[in-house]
Amino acid sequence: MLLAIDTSTHYASLALADGDALLAELNWRVGQRHGSELLERVRWLMREQGVAMSDLTGIAVAQGPGSFNGVRVAVATAKTLAFALGIPLYGVPTLDVIAWGAQVAMQPIWALLDAGRGEVYAARYDAASAQPIWSPQPSNDDGIAEPYVITTPQALAARIHTPVVITGEWREATGDALASALGEQARFTSPVGVRRGAWLAELAIQRARHGSADTPQSLEPLYLRRPNITKSARSQAAPGAASIADRADGEEATHAL
């Protein structure tokens, strides 16, 4: 029984999967209430499905990029649950989850997330390439060699020279800029349902089959950009306090569920 957790942006999603079967999925607009709503929704989903903590055999989490607070809450909660239950943990980059929803496309896929400051988080995927685990496929033809990047819509459009599918979450101005620059070269997926917990669960199951699990000690959020505030008062108060504070965000889950 796998629990998938994604609170990467102002949209959040949870899923419960048993093997290849999706038992339940919950998607909602969380806004900035990641910390206050996540555990409540997890409790409700598990209760409705009659699933107990002892039934879980794996935890999947979208590890970013995205909202700093949203990513931190999800990763801290997932790490604590996996550690407390002694079960495998699977961290999946949020852009991988987004792109998976368009993986039947014949063209290269660009997954985007708004990064603020007029920029986007971006990664390129090639559904036609043979790869055991779904991951970005950077192309030198696009001028991008790194798997996950921060770029402006204008700079991204300048690197695209072939038909592509663009999917994800972005500001209206970003979509307008890309549509104007790319014209018929770009097809945009619907803004409704761009990220689902079921997709995260699928990718975690894929990783489990290839023995690609993380540990609570090693998994870290994928921010790409440093938070504006890099140290909290708690982390400055004593060595190691930051990790303890992060862990506390998830420890409530073990008791509450």
Lowest average pLDDT, out of 54-58, 66-70, 119-123, 253-257, goes to 253-257
Average pLDDT, the chain: 87
pLDDT of 241 above 70: no
Do 73 and 199 fall within a single domain? yes
Do 9 and 58 fall within a single domain? yes
**Mean pLDDT calculated for residue range 239-255:** 41
Specify the higher pLDDT residue, 236 or 135.
Answer: 135
Domain boundary among 188, 216, 231: 188
Lowest average pLDDT, out of 75-84, 154-163, 190-199, goes to 190-199
Output the pLDDT for position 191: 81
CATH number of residue 44's parent domain: 3.30.420.40
Do 42 and 110 fall within a single domain? no
Do 114 and 145 fall within a single domain? yes
Do 81 and 199 fall within a single domain? yes
Do 71 and 7 fall within a single domain? yes
CATH number of residue 182's parent domain: 3.30.420
Do 39 and 112 fall within a single domain? no
Do 218 and 169 fall within a single domain? no
* Omega before 93 within 30 of 0, i.e. cis: no
Do 108 and 73 fall within a single domain? no
Domain count, the chain: 2
Do 75 and 184 fall within a single domain? no
CA distances from 15 to 97, 124, 167 (A): 13, 25, 21
In whole angstroms, what is the distance from residue 112 CA to residue 62 CA?
A: 15
Which pLDDT tens digit goes with each residue over 123-165? 999 988 768 899 998 766 666 668 999 999 999 999 899 999 9
**Mean pLDDT calculated for residue range 230-244:** 40
Residue 11: pLDDT band (50, 70, 90) is very high
Q: Which domain holds residue 247?
A: 2-94+195-256
Residue 228: pLDDT band (50, 70, 90) is low
Query: Is residue 95 within 8 Å of residue 113, measured between CB atoms?
Result: yes
**Helix, strand, or coil (residue 157):** helix
Which pLDDT tens digit goes with each residue over 81-124? 999 999 999 999 999 999 999 999 999 999 999 999 999 999 99
Domain boundary among 188, 205, 237: 188
pLDDT of 10 above 70: yes
Do 183 and 206 fall within a single domain? no
Specify the higher pLDDT residue, 52 or 252.
Answer: 52
Domain boundary among 161, 188, 215: 188
- Which secondary-structure segment (H or E) carries 88? none
* pTM, entire model: 0.87
Share of the chain above pLDDT 70, in %: 85
CA distances from 186 to 108, 132, 138, 181 (A): 10, 27, 18, 9
Do 119 and 202 fall within a single domain? no
CA distances from 122 to 79, 142, 157, 203, 208 (A): 25, 12, 12, 19, 25
